Amino acid sequence: MQSGKEPNKEPEYFEIQDPEFQASVDQGVMSDEIGMSRVVFWTVATSVLVIVLIAIAYNLYQFYKFDKEFQQAVNVEYRELNNHRADNINLLNQLEVIDEEQGIFRIPVDSAKTLLINRSN
């Protein structure tokens, strides 16, 4: 029995009395009607989702790149600050003759404090 879709269709090997069942067999159990609105909707939704995920990934990359560069800048400045402090501490704690004829000497800060305290007492 033919379902009436195509007149030149090959004859069936068995005859089915139920027209709905025959239509299901002819169409592979499921109708081949594709809802284009659903296809377009899911294509657009998936595209938007992918674009949003790419934007999020790019912003995260920019944030971590900035954070890494900021940390490097802080570390460089901190290293320079520590070097500057160490140089000044060495300068404050060393003995040095500035001008022997005029009696100008550089002595450690702690020694200078002790001398000033002893002189004032």
Domain coverage including residue 14 = 1-33
pTM over 0.75: no
Residues 39 and 74 in one domain: yes
Residues 27 and 39 in one domain: no
Residues 39 and 55 in one domain: yes
Residues 91 and 41 in one domain: yes
Residues 78 and 95 in one domain: yes
Residues 102 and 65 in one domain: yes
Structural domain count, the chain:
2
Residues 102 and 53 in one domain: yes
Residues 77 and 91 in one domain: yes
> What stretches of 1-121 show up as alpha helix (H) in DSSP?
19-26, 36-92, 109-120
pLDDT digits (tens, 9 = 90+) for 40-87: 999 999 999 999 999 999 999 999 999 999 988 887 778 888 888 899
Residues 64 and 98 in one domain: yes
Residues 72 and 96 in one domain: yes
Please, which residues have CB within 8 angstroms of residue 95's CB and are 6 or more apart in sequence? Answer: 105, 106, 107, 108
pLDDT digits (tens, 9 = 90+) for 102-112: 888 888 888 88
Provide the residue type at 23 as one letter.
A
